[in-house]
Amino acid sequence: MRKPFWWLVIGVVWAVGGCGDGAPSVSTPGVNSTPILPPVAAATDAAPTFVSTPTQTAVPPRRGEELLGESWEGRPITTHWFGNGHRKVVLVGNIHGGTEQNTHRLALEMITHFEEHLEEVPSDVTLWIIPTANPDGLAHGTRSNARGVDLNRNAYNDADSCAENDWVSDTHITEGIIEGGGGERPFSEVETQLLRDFLDDAQVAIFYHSMAGMIFVTSCADHPPSAELGRRLSEASGYAFAKEGWGSYPVTGAMVDYLAYRGVAAAEVELTNKVDTELDRNLDGVRAVMESVDEIVSSL
Ligand SMILES: [Zn+2]
């Protein structure tokens, strides 16, 4: 994890000034209300009480924001992080830009939630939330990035054991075929390069989409940690787990397939419509995943 030192400074300021629950509780020296104690015992009770003062130590920061890079048109792609654990859990909002803008709002709402509830991040986890992986598409109201490339069809998937998910240039959506929707070559786009590099050492990656109302993992059925991630997410959030994958049209160059091949447990959560963020059920899902990262990554 790259955490520049200025986050340490900010974190210390935040940790020292941000909350009051670090102060020790000081109990009042006992006032003995029982009148039958002999005078000697009463004198002992009145002995001075020493209260230790907490030592001022540098508290490592537990939250921050980091610039991952810029989109094709120069918009920032940022991530907010929470906690200090060695398990890297990443939530990616809005890879499909303006046509799935509710996933951007969901990610922002999750950031606000964890800013107020840092205690929900287990000690072995650092939670990373990317509000939008496709800021140009969000700005232009398009599913693709500014170069007309679908960022969830641009990954290199030729090395896994499935042929049907391999990267192709012309891609499918519900309305038909998008010429060049996969980009010029795998990972041709600055946004997918950035995601690929940032997620390479993650244990868990969850991408938010709308609006199939289901959970998907790799269509190449050889990565048990991803299947276990999908199962646990489904159980906690109530979205159905589509174990058989997306049946409507071929999905090529998808990020979850690439990540599963790389050993990262990866899933897509599809919200049920294009408007609502469905925050509560998605928080349930994220909390369940954060509590079970070890079981997920060790699934066989
Ligand atoms: Zn999508």
pTM for the model: 0.81
pLDDT computed for residue 138 by the predictor: 98
Q: Looking at the structure, tell me whether residues 111 and 255 fall in a common domain.
A: yes
Asked if 202 and 235 sit in the same domain, the reply is: yes
Location of structure tokens 């299947």: 227
Cα separation, 150 vs 169, whole angstroms: 10
User: Do 57 and 67 have their domain in common?
Assistant: no
Both 204 and 167 in one domain: the answer is: yes
Distance from the alpha carbon of residue 85 to the mean position of ligand 1, in angstroms = 29
Of the segments 21-25, 43-47, 237-241, which one has the largest average pLDDT value? Answer: 237-241
**96 Cα–ligand 1 center, Å:** 5
**What DSSP letter does each residue of 102-168 carry, written as one string?**
HHHHHHHHHHHHHHH-GGGS-TTEEEEEES-S-HHHHHHT-SS-TTS--TTS-S--TTSS-STT---
Query: Are 206 and 269 within 8 A, CB to CB?
Result: yes
CA 160 to ligand 1 centroid distance, Å:
22
pLDDT confidence bin for 51, thresholds 50/70/90: low
Residue 222 confidence (pLDDT): 80
45 and 153 within one domain = no
Are 135 and 254 found together in one domain? yes
The answer to whether 69 and 190 have CB atoms below 8 angstroms apart is: yes
Q: What was the pLDDT predicted at 14? A: 40
Q: Which range has the top average pLDDT, 44-53, 181-190, 236-245?
A: 181-190
* Ligand 1 ion: residues within 5 Å (CB): 96, 100, 209
Q: Residue 268 in contact with residue 237, Cβ under 8 Å?
A: no
Q: Give the residue from 61, 89, 109 where a domain finishes.
A: 61
**What is the number of domains present in the chain?**
2
pLDDT surpasses 70 at 194: yes
Mean model confidence pLDDT for the chain: 85
Last residue of one domain, picked from the residues 10, 28, 61: 61
Would you place residue 50 in the very low, low, confident or very high pLDDT band (cuts 50, 70, 90)?
Answer: low
Question: Is residue 12's pLDDT more than 50?
Answer: no
Residue 93 and residue 15 share a domain: no
| d(CA 109, ligand 1 centre) in Å | 19
Q: What three-state secondary structure class fits 285?
A: helix
Same domain, 5 and 110: no
Ligand 1 mean position, distance from CA 112 (Å): 23
pLDDT at res. 54: 56
Residue 10 has pLDDT above 60, yes or no: no
Q: Across residues 280-289, what is the average pLDDT?
A: 98
* DSSP code, position 258: H
CATH number at residue 229: 3.40.630.10
**How many A from CA of 207 to the centre of ligand 1?**
9
Q: Which of 44, 61, 78 is a domain's end point? A: 61
Q: Which of 74-83, 167-176, 259-268, 285-294 comes out lowest in average pLDDT?
A: 167-176
- Residues 236-252: what's their mean pLDDT? 88
Shared-domain flag, residues 14 and 134: no
Looking at the structure, tell me whether residues 47 and 173 fall in a common domain.
no
pLDDT band at 55 (very low <50, low <70, confident <90, very high): low
Interval between CA 143 and ligand 1 midpoint (Å): 8
Distance 103 CA to ligand 1 centre (A): 9
Instruction: Give the angle 168-69-83 at the CA atoms, nearest 5°.
Output: 110
Q: Are 104 and 167 part of one and the same domain?
A: yes
What does each C-alpha distance from 274 to 28, 105, 208 come to in angstroms?
A: 57, 11, 12
| Statement to judge: residues 213 and 254 lie in one domain | yes
The answer to whether 242 and 234 are in contact (CB under 8 A) is no
* 200 Cα–ligand 1 center, Å: 21
175 or 282, which is more confident: 282
Structure tokens at 188: 């041709």
Cα(210) to centroid(ligand 1), Å: 6
Give the per-residue pLDDT at 45.
47
pLDDT tens digits, residue range 93-139? 999 999 999 999 999 999 999 999 999 999 999 999 999 999 999 99
Residue 30 sits at φ, ψ, to 5 deg, of -55, 125
Domain coverage including residue 8: 1-61
**Ligand 1 geometric centre to CA of 209 (Å):** 4
